[in-house]
């Protein structure tokens, strides 16, 4: 059996993945033009991490930690990035990239998520991603 943790970094500009919308009976993609490059970079980093690890894909629950590093604007003084992109949409793009990379059977396996959005003041923008087998015991109250 392989390792119970897969971790890697991806560099680039994190891009949100929104929903498709219907307008005048046409489906309109409401995603950022930068999404394609971000998804490609994330998928490639995941594939490389999979090749260099003993991670075993399984159909059991997993937990994920993602820390996004967002570039700080030149005049931004606030401590945390409280403006778009939305954290949930950033996570959606990572989850779909991990599905495409075959890091798991499906992102519905994620039972616990910890996600952060911070400024990339001391490093290149991107994300740190860690996937672990979920083994927390559930107790009844």
Q: What sign for the dihedral angle of Cα 126, 102, 96, 2?
A: negative
* Segments of the chain assigned E as strands: 5-11, 20-23, 26-29, 62-70, 110-119, 126-133
What are the pLDDT digits (tens) for 69-122?
999 999 999 999 999 999 999 999 999 999 999 999 999 999 999 999 999 999
Q: What is the pLDDT of residues 16-40, one digit of tens each?
A: 997 666 667 776 655 667 899 999 9
Selection from 83, 136, 139, 140 nearest residue 114 by Cα? 136
**5-17+30-133 falls under which CATH superfamily?**
Holliday junction resolvase RusA (3.30.1330.70)
Task: Establish how many alpha carbons lie within 13 A of residue 126's alpha carbon, considering only the half-sphere containing its beta carbon.
Answer: 15
Sheet containing strand 62-70, strands side by side: 5-11, 126-133, 62-70, 110-119
Model pTM greater than 0.85?
A: yes
């Amino acid at each position: 059996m392989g390792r119970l943790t897969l971790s890697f970094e991806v560099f680039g500009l994190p891009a949100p993945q929104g929903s498709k919308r219907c307008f005048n009976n046409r489906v309109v993609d409401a995603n950022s033009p930068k999404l394609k490059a971000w998804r490609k970079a994330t998928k490639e980093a995941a594939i490389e991490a999979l090749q260099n690890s003993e991670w075993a894909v399984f159909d059991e629950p997993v937990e994920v930690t993602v820390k996004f590093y967002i570039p700080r604007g030149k005049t931004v003084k606030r401590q945390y990035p409280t403006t778009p992109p939305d954290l949930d949409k950033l996570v959606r793009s990572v989850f779909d990239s991990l599905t495409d990379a075959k890091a798991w059977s499906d992102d519905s396996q994620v039972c616990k998520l910890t996600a952060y959005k911070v400024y990339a003041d001391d490093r290149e923008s991107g994300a740190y991603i860690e996937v672990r087998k979920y083994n927390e015991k559930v107790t009844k109250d």
